[in-house]
Structure 1
Amino acid sequence: MQESPAFVSSDDLYLFNTGQLFRAYLTFGAHVMEVEGEPGVRFVLWAPNARAVFVIGDFCDWSSSDRSRAIELERIGTTGVWVGFGRGPGDGSRYKYELIDAEGERRLKSDPFGFRSELRPNTASVVTSLARYDWQDGEWMQLKRQRLPYDKPMLIYEVHLGAWRMDAPEQFRSYAQLARELVDYVVDMGYTHIEVLPLAEHPLDRSWGYQTTGYYAATSRYGPPEGLMELVDCAHRRGVGVLLDWVSGHFCKDEHGLRLFDGTPLYEPADYRRAEKPLWGTLAFDFGKPQVQSFLISNALFWLDMYHIDGLRVDAVASMIDLNFDKPDSMRTTNRYGGTEDIEALAFLRKLNETVFRYYPESLMMAEDSSSYPAVTSPTYLGGLGFNYKWNMGWMNDMLRYMETDPARRSDRHSLITFSMHYAYSENYVLPLSHDEVVHGKHSMLNKMPGSYEEKFANLRLFYGYWMSHPGKKLLFMGGEFGQFDEWKDDSGLDWSLLRYPLHDSMRSYVRDLNRIYLDRPALWENDHAPAGFEWIDVNNADQCMLSFQRRDKSGHRSVVVACNFSRRSYDVYRIGVSQSGIYRLLLSSDRANYGGSGAPMPERVQATDIPMHGKAYSIEIPVPALTVLMWETEEPASRFSNSYEEV
């Protein structure tokens, strides 16, 4: 059963051991191939401290005692790598590695580079080729290379695939079904991207994919790898990008996974104080180890290479770069300079981003980072971490605190909705309303809102309008678009039945229209990262809980004026300063009757007059209903227009 290990490139092994093999999945793991005309599977494994390694599986009755069918791997010199070729297994064979560690103990491990896993609770790896799918997204792949995202609209719909639609507990939609249903829905709603919670194989459904065992295996819960490829392909052919939540900060401790892989702390640090993540019950990666760098950076490229993923949302960056993140005093450590930054993790993130952008300069690399670490989205050659986007957790926390406040008391918290503009251009930001904000007792987006049933909807419409017009790209977790009333229930799916009730159905219509207005107005996204794209009109009106500002496109000629009334008081006449003369056309009133509002009369067009206001040479006079956001767009002068009031 043995073959010479000479067919494994010595260059690859050198690069792997120096942290420079960035497509290690092409070498490591199980690969169907022919050797000297004989079909079989080559297995390559990194386990430097093992005394012996066997591949066992359904081709040998899961026993290494039958040496005629089990595959014994051979160590390649001092590289720490083992290799072997077996003629028994083939495509679809289940297998595990049996390692004999330095103490003579037997360990059964799934393949760290396995391309597919058994459906949980089973944990074997499955020999799989990923080259069978016939991709049809060439036009998308070419187009995105020509369109960098910074001055483009970005509306991200965050999804947990298992709980988007579920007919009964554990009756998940397949990747292939989602390729039709989810993509159709996202296109209809006007989103530009789908962001999927982690899809790497994980043993526990309730971890949502954040505690991984199979980094190279798309979870089998929703079908075979080709199904996920079909989902991405269908999205691309409909003009929708796909982002993946990627977990490089930690891994779970299940026995078949990476923990103590060869009997020693191989993927995790040897110092338990640095290895343990007590908040999550997981283990950190040893980011300073070159082989771990090869493993993780190759994994990032793997999803972009093999599944055509358009970018990664890197989870829990704050926990990666802080040695003592959520750790008790007994576990606190310092770096070699006496500080608490994880120098090796910072270097890893820079190397990760440099590598991804070397091969995929058009990719989105987003940091989910709640820390105040500077220059997260600055280039590495300027000392930054090299991401191109960062989640704006400060904006999210401030805005939710403000919106959860009863309108009668919002005057005292006015700075919560204005402070974000003091730092809005320090990073390239995404404004996230994510799954993290609708779980663990935090309430759904709708149920965070104060007031009566109707006021909750009015507040949420108002909030979404402010969010959509604030500088920064946008992300909304599934269910938020129709006012899911309960917290996200990961084991039973979204409450689609709520759409039978008018206010929920109207909320979805509102979000759909809001998305379309956003997509069609460059003023709302072209200058997201430049101060020229935003100007306060009236920022200090805390007493009335009013806020007004304007967004401008790159030309500076087209603008959108936004007025937000965060109070319960309505104003029949309210004057707002504007920069340009001419006609202003109503783009949006969140108080429209078909959105569930009061339907208070509102003019479709108003004429700016030369009455100065708010430091502007001109002003418009408009009604402003309670708990309402209004958007007005400059329009070319017309010979005639109506000031008549209509229900809009």
Structure 2
Amino acid sequence: MNSVKTYTLFTDHDIYLFKEGKHYKLYDKFGAHSAEKDGVKGVYFSVWAPNAKKVSVIGNFNNWNHKDHILFPRWDESGIWEGFIAGLTWGTLYKYAVETPGGEILEKSDPYALSWEQNIQAASLVSTTWYEWNDKEWFQNRWKKNSLNVPISVYELHLGSWLREDDDPEKFLNYRDIAKNLIPYIKEMGFTHVEFMPVMEYPYDPSWGYQITGFYAATSRFGSPQDLMFLIDELHQNEIGVILDWVPSHFPGDANGLHRFDGSYLYEHEDPRKGFHPDWKSHIFNYGRNEVKSFLISNAMFWLERYHADGLRVDAVTSMLHLDYSRNEGEWEPNIYGNNVNLEAKAFLQDFNTAVYKEFGDNIITIAEESSDFPMLTKPVHDGGVGFGMKWMMGWMHDTLDYFKVDPFNRKFHHHKLTFASMYMYNENYMMPLSHDEVVHGKASLIYKMPGDEWQKFANLRALYVYMFTHPGAKLLFMGDEFGQTSEWNFKKGLDWHLLEYPVHKGLQNLVKDLNHIYRYETAFYENQFNKEGFEWVEADDLENSVFVYLRKGKKKDDVFMVVLNLTPRVIDYKIGVSAGSHWEIVFNSDDERYAGSGVKPEIFDEQYGDYMRHQKSISIKLPPLAGIILKKKDKKYKQNRIKQHKR
């Protein structure tokens, strides 16, 4: 006997927008919602399954019997099944039993469920995202924290392995416990934002969260939706932004997930050349299907609205935009113009960026993980761009790591790997990533990518960080890299925090802390980080000495810093051309003993007038080995305490 009553949350306009790919708040309509009919409380269910013969709700309230509680198909050919079941409440476990035209019964979790069980059955839970937020002050001012002319230094972390109470792979800290430990650390280190690797529900721990089944559910590994909201709320109250990894590129083939949801290729593209990912053995969304576009863009809106996220880092954009990604000749079909651009995916990403920036403006950031030279990713959609706020600078990352891996005495043969980025660094709005992908799968930790003995390894990494934090663009550093984690990242265990008992690791952490504060509080390093006025080479071609010299400039004429990198293990007396009448003082040295350096003190020991390096004056500086130093132009009195006050 069917005890489901007719009920709807959809208007005709909702259906129109859904079918047009323009409904961006579907989470208010689909899924399980607390409701009341004829004075009786219960739950309203709705699901999209246009090719289903029958859909029923099964759960712990009816012994998972698919013959009861059958939903009603809507009359408008939208493919939506819906209905009201009296007496149900929060915590009810349920799935949809979807009968295909061939008579097969598929048990599917709710694509819009707000919570999932954390077990092999992975049933959906009737849940809520109600939470009393306390981050009003952050929201009133967050455009000042997320715009392109402010410092953005991101700490990327995996919630399951940043900190563990023990090494039991089945035990995790709750979101609230993470908040208690993480927030003081981020504040001490000076990062402006955290980026969480996917927090959406996923069944397989080794996927790190990138094989998502519950796109609208915060993973219950670490607690409830409200627990995650508490973590984000507390971060905001402590002036820390939150970026979430978002994965609209693919999904796994789990039986209870989106794959063949109603027996047909509903969410994924039917053509395996567009619908199956050969590397990840996962399924690719059909970006040309309007209802799928509505599902995905609504999902982005959901995390920005309901969870107060400040940004979305969009995973695997390269694979989305290229029809031939990881495919051999004959395994892909060109588009109507005869090239490899996935026009449907590009249009989807343009619609996504247009929608979220229209809704939230400069209060949020979208960031593309994109490794090709696909043009105009961070240009406005109305100018033909894809509309992202930023793009990961993968070329910079690869060139930089390739350079620093080389023995210092051979670096002269690779010199321009460090200068090449300046040829294109203003083509897009770039974020420089040293992410989790660089410290797994046999690639070694960052510290063990560096050549030489222990002292040289740490000196090299300190110099690399000086280069990174003083280079134009936003910054991203993966957890553990800030103190020299020696082993590759292992998602099954916490970081090796005990390493901080050793001076070299503590010194590296101190260096990252001070570089963060210099970047945040010295306007020359961020005001013009995305335009050409902010950077100038002084010396880019000294291959023999492996020395690099460049200026970083703020908007005010005299707001200028000079960065000098000596990337050999020799102490060098070095002559640099400067503008006439300028005076300089050294304000930072990565070889300082505070950073476990050798303690060689850089000093300006000579100033002369006379043409040098196309300038009317020169200064001579003693450069420490394998080090980066920062000098401040003294035309206006430099307040050293702006840096010193953070050296605690």
Shorter-chain TM-score tier: over 0.9
Alpha carbons 1:16, 1:294 under 8 Å: kept? yes
SS for the counterpart of 1:532 is helix
- Offset, 1:577: 1.6
Deviates more, 1:312-321 or 1:575-584: 575-584
- Aligned partners of 1:365 and 1:389 also within 8 Å: yes
Mark the CA change 1:121 to 1:184 in structure 2 (over 3 Å): closer, same or farther. farther
Task: String of CA shifts for 1:211-249, please: whole Å, max 9, x gaps.
Answer: 110000010010000011011111111111000010001
Q: Does the 8 A contact of 2:40 with 2:87 survive in 1?
A: no
The 2-side partners of 1:601 and 1:148 are apart by 37
Counterpart secondary structure, 2:121: coil
What is the match of residue 450 of structure 1?
451
Q: How far does residue 37 in structure 1 lie from its aligned partner after superposition? A: 1.5
Amino acid at match of 1:417: L
The answer to whether the aligner puts 1:360 opposite 2:330 as a matched pair is: no
How far 1:6 sits from its partner (Å)? Answer: 4.9
Partner of 2:174: 174
State whether structure 2 residue 157 is matched by structure 1 residue 156. no
Match of 1:142 in 2: 140
Q: Percent identity?
A: 42
Q: Does 1:111 align with 2:110?
A: yes
In structure 1, the residue matched to 2:60 is 58
Counterpart amino acid of 2:609?
D
* Structure 1 contact 116–225 (Cα < 8 Å) conserved: yes
- Aligned-partner SS, 1:30: strand
What does 1:22-41 align with in structure 2 at a 5 Å threshold?
Answer: 22-41=24-43
Tell me how far 1:122 sits from its aligned partner.
3.5
1:39: Cα distance to partner? 0.6
Distance in 1 (CA, whole Å) between partners of 2:182 and 2:485 is 17
Tell me, in whole angstroms, the C-alpha distance in 1 between the residues paired with 2:608 and 2:33: 73
Report the equivalent of 1:320.
320
Structure 1 residue 276, shift from structure 2 partner: 0.8
How far apart, in 2, do the equivalents of 1:323 and 1:212 lie? 22
Please state how far the C-alpha of 1:606 moved relative to its aligned partner: 6.9
1:76-131 per-residue CA deviation (whole Å, 9 max, x = no partner) reads 44110000111132111110000000110000001000011111333101101112
Aligned equivalents of 1:292 and 1:214: distance in 2?
15
SS in 1 for 2:460: helix
> C-alpha displacement at 1:328, in angstroms?
3.1
Give the Cα–Cα distance (whole angstroms) in 2 for the partners of residues 580 and 474 of structure 1.
33
1: distance between equivalents of 2:121 and 2:593?
53
Superposed displacement of residue 482, structure 1 = 0.1
CA deviation vs aligned residue, 1:10-61 (integer Å, no higher than 9, x gap):
2212211111110001000000111221110000100000000011111111
Say if 2:580 and 2:609, in contact at 8 Å, map to a contact too: no
Contact 2:7/2:44, CA 8 A, preserved across alignment: no
Check conservation: 2:404, 2:464, Cα contact below 8 A. Answer: yes
Q: Deviations over 1:516-561 (max 9, x none)?
A: 1111111111101111111111110011111001101011211110
Tell me the residue number matched to 2:20: 18
CA distance in 1, matches of 2:146, 2:196: 21
Superposed counterparts of 1:527-566, under 5 Å: 527-566=528-567
Quote the offset at 1:581 in angstroms. Answer: 3.0
Deviation at 1:636, TM superposition (A): 4.2
Q: Which runs of 5+ in 1 are unaligned?
A: 642-647
Partner of 1:567: 568
CA distance in 1, matches of 2:605, 2:535: 22
C-alpha distance in 1, partners of 2:495/2:197?
15
| Distance of 1:224 and 1:508 partners within structure 2 | 33
* Aligned residue type for 2:120: P
CA deviation string 1:434-488 (max 9, x = no partner): 0111111111111100111110000000000011111111000000000001111
Q: Report the counterpart of residue 515 of structure 1 in structure 2.
A: 516
**Residue type of the partner of 1:261?**
F
Aligned partner of 1:486 in structure 2 is 487
Aligned to 2:80: 81
2: CA distance, partners of 1:146 / 1:590: 30
Q: Deviation of residue 170 (structure 1)?
A: 2.6
In 1, the alpha carbon distance for the partners of 2:609 and 2:5 equals: 87
CA distance in 1, matches of 2:636, 2:7: 77
Aligned residues: 635
Secondary structure class of the residue paired with 1:182: helix
| Between 545-554 and 511-520, the greater mean CA deviation after superposition | 511-520
Q: CA deviation at 1:4?
A: 2.4
CA contact (8 A) 2:55 2:99 kept: yes
TM-score when normalising by structure 1: 0.96
Output one character per residue of 1:179-203: Cα deviation in whole Å (capped at 9) or x when no partner. Answer: 2211111111000000110111000
Match of 2:51 among 49, 52, 75: 49
- Asked if the contact 1:583/1:608 (under 8 Å) is kept, the reply is no
The alpha carbon displacement at 1:638 in A equals 7.5
Give the Å deviation of 1:2: 2.7
- Secondary structure of 2:338's partner? coil
Which residue does the alignment assign to 2:194? 194
Partner of 1:165: 163
SS at match of 1:543: coil
- Residue 629 (1) aligns with residue 632 (2): no
Shift of 1:579: 2.5
User: Which residue of structure 2 lines up, in the alignment, with residue 434 of structure 1?
Assistant: 435
Equivalent-residue separation in structure 2 for 1:462 and 1:30 (angstroms): 53
Assess, with a 3 A threshold, how the Cα gap between structure 1 residues 558 and 606 changes in structure 2: closer, same or farther.
Answer: farther
Equivalent runs, 1:566-605 vs 2, <5 Å: 566-571=567-572, 573-579=573-579, 581-603=581-603
Partner letter of residue 328 of structure 1?
A: N
CA distance in 2, matches of 1:580, 1:595: 34
2:160 and 2:173 in contact (8 A); partners too? yes
Alignment correspondent of 1:212: 212
On the 8 A contact 1:251/1:284 being kept in 2, the answer is: yes
Q: Assess, with a 3 A threshold, how the Cα gap between structure 1 residues 608 and 34 changes in structure 2: closer, same or farther.
A: farther
Partner of 2:278: 278
Q: TM-score normalised to the size of structure 2?
A: 0.96
Helix, strand or coil for the counterpart of 2:609?
coil
What displacement does 1:610 show?
2.7
Shift of 1:502: 1.4
Kept in 1: contact 2:558–2:635 (CA 8 A): no
Q: Which residue of 2 aligns with 1:257?
A: 257
Give the AA of the match of 1:340.
N
| Shift in CA distance, 170/609, structure 1 to aligned 2, threshold 3 Å | farther
Contact kept in structure 2, 1:56 and 1:71, CA below 8 Å = no
Residue 264 of structure 2 aligns to a residue whose secondary structure is coil
Equivalent in the alignment of 2:4? 2
CA distance in 1, matches of 2:384, 2:301: 23
**Residue segments in structure 2 that go unaligned for 5+ positions in a row:** 641-646
